[in-house]
Chain A
């Protein structure tokens, strides 16, 4: 181990222990004092520890350790954030021997501490974005394609790596494109539906007309049949081609007139 390493290690250890010393000193000073200061001191120490852990995580090469450290950071953050309201309430309580300005300052201290805790990156910085994306896709209730699996990916188990982030982005883009395509199809189907309905009504309208035509043509054909029969009887007497041809021409003329 080189000297430099030794020195840095010693420095780190001293710093750690210095902190503890100061805390002990503070506690000795404040034991007769209020609960707020004690709690606040505790919070501060834990926050500093978190920051250190994050720094360690960012330098760590091993993915698994990064995962573990991030998880721990997240858990601690969640715990601290839960305790913050208690701290806040303590801050607002009046304590004897404390000036009014200090009381107000305590409130500010609490909120500053809260922001500091929240700002500690814990590897799920895009967590809120993910959750809103998921909510947005859930609200598009028209087409439900696999919305369940979207939620599981925001859990702690699936850590964010670069590849997974890109994959998620691509997945979202594809989903958007699919939704656009489906909207387009839906519009086309709407048009088809209305056209089909109109066709239906038009055909319904034409049914009685066709029936009428049917009746009339039936009547006309029966008339022609009876006329033919009568003509046959009349013509039986004289067999003459001319009359046949003339009658044929007359019938054709009537047919042409009708059409």
Chain B
């Protein structure tokens, strides 16, 4: 059967599924088998368009057979083939459908895996869509209480945001990662996530946000007791003093080297922008009350 022409298999399967006068009910079982074979054959022959179509039909057949697991598997293959073709909309679509089918099975891990695969496929070309997929995957896992698995996805999403230079979004995602880590008591990841968020804010020259972030995170016990907290406080005090040498020395330390790659790269590029502007800003805040006193 492997040597059969995939076209022939396809037409045979189509005939099985079409309802005619002689056929009152579609034979989905054999059709599914034939579709799968045809799809594999097409993929080997590198005829991606046809392979994609075949996979889709196979998936539909499996759905009719009420086996969402197999249907989802075929959908994933269809998505992979669509990636080869470069139909980015379809890629996202297929992977989403696959993930929905997995959820129907009641298996959240494969569902999020499918979305993650889709996101990875779209990272280079449609990063916004990729980020969407990542966040959806994370929410699926969180609903199911499997936050541990979500860490990698959050990190990947943050990396994409940083590449897109959308720093507030990246910092937000890192804070969500910290929240997820908190739920499963992964203290180390949590502290690293918070430190990463502070560094992203500093890189974006948003000193106020960085300070606010630091204050918020200091409310959390686990962060308060950690190495990362000490490092963050040293970094922020070096910033308020405008001490460039100190900042450069601090970011060479091992605390930073344990963070994510993208964040290490950002940290090594600190301090960005005009430190004196930051100093003037923080100085101005103190001067203004004095001025008011003088006027009175």
Residues of A within 8 A of B (CB): 187, 190-191, 194, 197-198, 200-201, 204-205, 208
Contact = CB atoms under 8 A, between A and B. Distances in A.
Given A204-B148, A205-B148, A190 B186 contact: no
A207 to B, nearest CB: 9
B135 to A, nearest CB: 20
Contacts of B184: 204
Contacts of B188: 194, 197-198, 200-201
Given A205-B148, A205-B149, A191 B186 contact: no
**Contact residues of A: prevailing secondary structure:** helix
B189 interface: yes
The 8 closest A-B pairs by CB, nearest first: A197-B188, A194-B258, A190-B254, A205-B148, A201-B186, A187-B254, A201-B189, A201-B188
A194 B254 CA distance: 9
A204 B258 contact: no
B105 to A, nearest CB: 14
22 contacts: A187-B254, A190-B254, A190-B255, A191-B254, A191-B257, A191-B258, A194-B188, A194-B258, A197-B187, A197-B188, A198-B188, A200-B188, A201-B148, A201-B186, A201-B188, A201-B189, A204-B148, A204-B184, A205-B148, A205-B149, A208-B146, A208-B148
Interface string B182-220: 001011110000000000000000000000000000000
Q: Which of A200, A205, A208 has the most chain B CB atoms inside 10 A of its CB?
A: A205
A39 B189 CA distance: 74
B144 to A, nearest CB: 11
A8 B184 CA distance: 94
A191 B258 CA distance: 7
Contacts of B186: 201, 204
Nearest to A205: B148
Nearest to A202: B148
Nearest to B147: A205
Contacts of A198: 188
A70 to B, nearest CB: 43
Q: Which of B184, B188, B255 has the most chain A CB atoms inside 10 A of its CB?
A: B188
Nearest to B185: A204
A201 B188 CA distance: 8
A258 to B, nearest CB: 16
Contacts of A208: 146, 148
B138 to A, nearest CB: 15
A41 to B, nearest CB: 53
B266 to A, nearest CB: 18
B142 to A, nearest CB: 14
Interface in B33-80: none
A184 to B, nearest CB: 11
Contacts of B148: 201, 204-205, 208
A208 B145 CA distance: 11
A201 B147 CA distance: 12
Contacts of B257: 191
B171 to A, nearest CB: 22
A208 B146 CA distance: 9
Contacts of B146: 208
A151 B15 CA distance: 99
A140 to B, nearest CB: 16
Contacts of A205: 148-149
A75 B222 CA distance: 58
Interface string B147-187: 01100000000000000000000000000000000001011
B223 to A, nearest CB: 14
Contacts of A201: 148, 186, 188-189
A204 B188 CA distance: 12
A48 B189 CA distance: 73
Contacts of A197: 187-188
Q: Which of B146, B148, B257 has the most chain A CB atoms inside 10 A of its CB?
A: B148
Interface string B122-152: 0000000000000000000000001011000
B195 to A, nearest CB: 12
Q: Which of A197, A200, A208 has the most chain B CB atoms inside 10 A of its CB?
A: A197
Nearest to A196: B188
A67 B276 CA distance: 56
